[in-house]
Amino acid sequence: MSKVKHVLGISGGKDSAALAIYLHEKYPQIDFTYYYTDTGKELDETYQLLENIEIYLGKKILHLVANDAAESSENPFDFFYKSFKGYIPSATARWCTNMMKLQPFEKFVGETIPTLSYVGIRGDENREGYISKKNNIQSIFPFRKNMWSEDVLHKLFNPENQEVVLDYYNSVFKGEKLDKVAELLHSEITFKRHQRLATDRQIKYKLNGLMDLGVVDFNHATFQFLKGTEYPLSFEEDYALLDNEDVLVRDDVFRILRESGVGVPAYYNKIEYEVDGQKGEYARSRSGCFFCFFQQKIEWVWLYEQHPEKFKEAMAYENLKESFTWNQHESLEELIHPDRIRQIKLDHLKRTNKQKSDDSPYLLDILDDTEGDGCTACFV
């Protein structure tokens, strides 16, 4: 029996939902615990998605709420908003993620049980997921070609560990392939703080080179290396995902959601708007609080026009005297001035006309450049 706990955070977004479905189908032998960290400020579609996933999985998704807020009669966001004296969170002061997502998660996992945390970052994304500083939590990225987290790679490619890695390859490769592994492992690497970019580049070189020689072998070599560490996987005799070579991208995610019957959250669907006689389409690009400061201006306009009551609720949090606003240099009151809405739509149209692809039923291409903004605790 596994000594490791397998947890999967469902953010309410498409990728983590698809990951839960994918892993449930492909690895029925793994006993996943699903959780959701609630801010109390999501759109109804998110809560509907959670319900649909529960029905599909036949299992409850645990709703985690920060301790202090759990004891209050208010919802989590309102509780913390008051305790921060009305200071609205922002990209640079993101107390919301910390208090309502990360802390409840780490508390739920605890200090001792070795835990694998599955994260739905896709194979077509270029971002890293949240990596806990706790030794008993290890992140796994099953949708990517490289399923290992950055911290594992840093240790794996540290020159002091290369012989352990080479040992594994010695047992499975020979000849030119083995020479190539040795060359990659012995290639230059620096871990000096001020040379972070060089380190990233060198790790990428080694990683891609080894994965080109075989993803499964690379996974087994990494697993072998982890056995000598205190990472949660060192407690496992074997690990089913080592043989997984799947790489899943955005289209796969939508396909999984549709084919499973769980469905795509309605806010991803395009809605038509008109401005100066021209037609455009808008939608929301991600899950998360409806007032999230990471959203684009066109998404605020979408919220105003499609969920006016939520927009009004978002406005009520702003304090213009203190300059506490969701967007820098612009209040929501200013944003919904008709001239401003017209300008935002025209800017959006200009941008989308450049990027639009006719066969996309969602705003996939348009939101490409912004989807990675924010944090993986909220938007995966």
- Which residues form the interface with ligand SF4 (CB under 6 A)? 39, 89, 94, 96-97, 100-101, 288-289, 292, 294, 374-375, 378
Q: Specify burial of residue 178 (Cβ count, 10 A radius: 0-12, 13-18, 19+).
A: middle
Q: Supply the minimum distance, in Å, between the C-beta of residue 375 and ligand SF4.
A: 6
Q: Supply the minimum distance, in Å, between the C-beta of residue 286 and ligand SF4.
A: 8
Residue 31 has a CB neighbour count (10 Å cut-off) of 11
The residue among 215 and 292 lying less far from ligand SF4, judged by its C-beta, is 292
The residue among 9 and 374 lying less far from ligand SF4, judged by its C-beta, is 374
Residues 248 and 346: their CA atoms lie apart, in Å, by 34
Q: What are phi and psi of 319, to 5 degrees?
A: -130, 100
The residue among 14 and 94 lying less far from ligand SF4, judged by its C-beta, is 94
Residue 6: how many CA atoms within 13 Å on its side-chain side?
20
Is the torsion defined by CA of 232, 234, 237, 238 positive or negative? positive
User: What residue has token string 């006016």?
Assistant: 308
Give the nearest residue (CB) to ligand SF4.
Answer: 288
According to DSSP, the residues that pair with 337 across neighbouring strands are none
The residue among 22 and 268 lying less far from ligand SF4, judged by its C-beta, is 268
Q: Supply the minimum distance, in Å, between the C-beta of residue 88 and ligand SF4.
A: 9
Q: Supply the minimum distance, in Å, between the C-beta of residue 374 and ligand SF4.
A: 6
Q: Enter the tokens of residue 210.
A: 């080894």
Cα-atom radius of gyration of the chain, to the nearest Å? 23
Residues 106 and 125: their CA atoms lie apart, in Å, by 25
Which residues, including other chains, have CB under 8 Å from residue 88's CB and lie 6 or more apart? Answer: 81, 293, 317, 318, 319, 324, 325, 326
C-alpha separations of 304 from 189, 309, 311, 320, 347 in Å = 51, 8, 5, 19, 17
Residues 237 and 235: their CA atoms lie apart, in Å, by 7
The residue among 98 and 229 lying less far from ligand SF4, judged by its C-beta, is 98
Q: Supply the minimum distance, in Å, between the C-beta of residue 206 and ligand SF4.
A: 33
According to DSSP, the residues that pair with 330 across neighbouring strands are 327
Q: Supply the minimum distance, in Å, between the C-beta of residue 281 and ligand SF4.
A: 23
CB 204 within 8 A of CB 146: no
Q: What angle do CA 300, 91, 192 make, to 5 degrees?
A: 145
The residue among 17 and 23 lying less far from ligand SF4, judged by its C-beta, is 17
The residue among 94 and 345 lying less far from ligand SF4, judged by its C-beta, is 94
Q: Supply the minimum distance, in Å, between the C-beta of residue 37 and ligand SF4.
A: 9
The residue among 96 and 344 lying less far from ligand SF4, judged by its C-beta, is 96
CB 325 within 8 A of CB 332: yes
Q: Supply the minimum distance, in Å, between the C-beta of residue 289 and ligand SF4.
A: 3
Q: Supply the minimum distance, in Å, between the C-beta of residue 358 and ligand SF4.
A: 31
The residue among 66 and 165 lying less far from ligand SF4, judged by its C-beta, is 66
What's at 16, amino acid-wise?
S
